[in-house]
Amino acid sequence: MDFALTDEQRMFQKMFADFAEKEVKPIGEHTDHEEEPPLEVLQKAAMQGFMGALFPEECSGACLDFVSYVMLLEELAKADITTAMTISVHNGLAGKTILDFGSAEQREKYLEPMAFGEMIGAFALTEPAAGSDAAALESTALRDGGDYVLNGNKIWVSNGGIAGLFVVFAKTDPGAGARGISAFIVERDTPGFKVGRREKTLGLRGLTVTPLYMADCRVPAANLLGEEGKGFKIALQALDVARLSLSAIALGACQRALDEGVAFSIEHIQFGGPIALKQAIQNFVADSAAEIEGLRWLVYHTAWLAAQGEPFSHEAAIAKLLASEAAYRIANRMVQVHGGYGYMKEYAIERIYRDVRALPIIEGANEVLRFVIARDLYDQVGLKIRP
Which residues are the active-site residues?
363
Burial code (b: 16+ CB inside 10 Å, e: under 16) for 257-285 equals bbebbbebbeeeeeeeeebbeeeebeebb
Q: Cα–Cα distance between 203 and 353 in angstroms, integer? A: 8
Dihedral in degrees, nearest 10, Cα atoms 203, 318, 367, 197: 30
Q: Cα–Cα distance between 97 and 102 in angstroms, integer? A: 7
Q: Cα–Cα distance between 180 and 229 in angstroms, integer? A: 5
Evaluate whether 207 touches 159 at the Cβ level (below 8 Å): yes
What is the bridge-based pairing of β-strands 165-171 and 121-124?
Answer: parallel
Closest CA to 352 of 367, 364, 337: 337
The 10 Å Cβ neighbour count of residue 137 is 27
Give me the DSSP letters along 134-157.
GGG---EEEEETTEEEEEEEEEEE
